């Protein structure tokens, strides 16, 4: 186990001077701390969007098409995907642009850019904001991990395929039953528009449609479910609504630098609207409560490591990276016992 050391995750550093490019965007933005998002969006518009369009044209043929297509898929789905997905996550929680610009720019990102990374228009926002943060991974959350054995790959596959084939319908039913008309309408229109759009594109260029639209969608939903599984693998069955004990934090990891402190998942559920650069300090402020609640905090690893160690049941590796805040755990074995207990399936309501 590890002691709580100095945090290396990103925080905001005040700038004395802004470039012309930055000053241009600051005219439309609410918070200067979001300028890194504009740099990311700019790179996407330079390197990803034009190539996606190019793949649908007759300019590339044979081996040249496949070479460009595979390079495109690698950079869009393995380099930019996480960065963009977690940036969009931040944009859903906090209005990045000033009134008069927010709706138009957010709509453009949702309908034009999101599909490049496997997010159908409006689906992520409707699910994440309309249900996941309302239910916090509990009984009514269609992406809840509660009722699965969370150190079992077989159980994860059941979870993934359930969400892949039924997740949209279950989210719609949840929103409909709670009369969230605006959200379930957005979800329905976005999902069906994308399906129809992909069907039409298949008649234009089948392999480009698969490369740019279909495979990213399947990959995105797998990655999102893998992430949610790792984030909510350790749940106190006696009190599953306790945010401190139904999620985890991953600190001091390069992942937090590329994905906007996404490792601070407990903090995020406690303070959903908090800017990502404030999360490390918020964690330090709450460290005594983390210790009292026996919250799970890992140092130096991220969700993919957590997922792999769970699937291979390497609790010793998890314990080696567990932060023993205020000496919460007397022994390594005690910590492992608690982690094993919190990965057990929680029966549903009768």
Residue 269's alpha-carbon distances to 231, 243, 323, in angstroms, are 11, 7, 20
Predicted TM-score (pTM) of the model is 0.96
The answer on 40 and 138 residing in a single domain is no
How big is the CA angle at 92 (ends 88 and 98), to the nearest 5 degrees? Answer: 100
| Contact predicate 106/87, CB 8 Å | no
Residue 205 located in a structural domain: yes
The answer on 162 and 87 residing in a single domain is no
The answer on 157 and 73 residing in a single domain is no
Residue 6 located in a structural domain: no
Looking at 84, 117, 150, which one is the last position of a domain? 117
Number of domains in the chain: 3
The answer on 248 and 328 residing in a single domain is yes
The answer on 148 and 226 residing in a single domain is yes
Listed residue (87, 144, 145) closest to 119, CA to CA: 87
- pLDDT digit string, tens, across residues 301-339: 999 999 999 999 999 999 999 999 999 999 999 999 999
The answer on 183 and 106 residing in a single domain is no
Residue 209 located in a structural domain: yes
Looking at 73, 97, 117, which one is the last position of a domain? 117
219 burial type by CB count under 10 A (0-12 exposed, 13-18 middle, 19+ buried): middle
The count of other CB atoms within 10 Å of the CB of residue 291 is 18
Residue 4 located in a structural domain: no
- Give the CB-side neighbour count of residue 32, counting CA atoms within 13 A: 12
Domain holding 212, by residue range, is 122-232
The answer on 284 and 256 residing in a single domain is yes
The answer on 132 and 46 residing in a single domain is no
Q: How far apart are CA 75 and CA 345, in angstroms?
A: 37
| Contact predicate 129/89, CB 8 Å | no
Looking at 232, 262, 278, which one is the last position of a domain? 232
Q: List, for the chain, all residue ranges whose pLDDT scores fall below the cut of 70.
A: 349-350
Encode 145-182: b = buried (16+ Cβ within 10 Å), e = exposed: bbebbbbbeebbeebbeebeeebbebbbebbeeeebee
Residue 162 located in a structural domain: yes
Residue 237 located in a structural domain: no
| Contact predicate 76/107, CB 8 Å | no
What's the pLDDT score for residue 16? 87
Residue 3 located in a structural domain: no
What's the pLDDT score for residue 350? 39
The answer on 103 and 24 residing in a single domain is yes
The answer on 130 and 183 residing in a single domain is yes
The answer on 186 and 126 residing in a single domain is yes
The answer on 217 and 145 residing in a single domain is yes
Residue 256 located in a structural domain: yes
């Amino acid at each position: 186990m590890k002691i709580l050391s100095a945090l290396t995750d990103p925080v905001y550093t005040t700038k004395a001077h802004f470039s012309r490019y930055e000053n241009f965007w600051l005219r439309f933005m609410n918070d200067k701390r979001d300028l890194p998002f504009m740099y990311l969006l700019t790179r996407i518009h330079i390197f990803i969007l034009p190539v996606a369009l190019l793949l649908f044209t007759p300019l590339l043929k044979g081996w040249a098409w496949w070479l460009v297509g595979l390079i495109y898929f690698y950079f869009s789905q393995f380099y930019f995907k996480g960065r963009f997905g977690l940036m969009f996550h931040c944009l859903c929680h906090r209005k990045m642009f000033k009134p008069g610009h927010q709706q138009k720019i957010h709509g453009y990102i949702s309908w034009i850019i999101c599909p490049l990374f496997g997010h159908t228009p409006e689906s992520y926002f409707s699910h994440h904001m309309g249900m996941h943060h309302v239910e916090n991974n509990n009984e009514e959350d269609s992406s809840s991990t509660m009722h699965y054995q969370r150190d079992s790959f077989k159980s994860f596959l059941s979870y993934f395929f359930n969400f892949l084939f039924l997740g949209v319908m279950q989210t719609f039913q949840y929103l409909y039953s709670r009369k969230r008309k605006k959200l379930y309408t957005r979800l329905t229109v976005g999902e069906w528009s994308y399906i129809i759009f992909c069907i039409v594109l298949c008649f234009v260029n089948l392999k480009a449609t698969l490369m740019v639209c279909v495979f990213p969608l399947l990959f995105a939903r797998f990655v999102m479910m893998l992430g949610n599984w790792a984030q909510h693998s350790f749940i106190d069955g006696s009190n599953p609504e306790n945010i401190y004990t139904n999620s985890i934090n991953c600190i001091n990891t390069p992942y937090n630098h590329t994905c906007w402190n996404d490792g601070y998942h407990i903090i995020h559920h406690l303070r959903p609207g908090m800017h990502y650069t404030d999360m490390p300090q918020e964690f330090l402020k709450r460290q005594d409560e983390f210790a009292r609640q026996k919250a799970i905090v890992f140092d130096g690893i991220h969700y993919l490591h957590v997922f792999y160690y769970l699937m291979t049941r390497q609790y010793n590796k998890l314990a080696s990276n567990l932060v023993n805040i205020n000496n919460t755990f007397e022994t390594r074995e005690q910590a492992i016992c608690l982690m094993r207990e919190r990965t057990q399936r929680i029966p549903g309501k009768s």
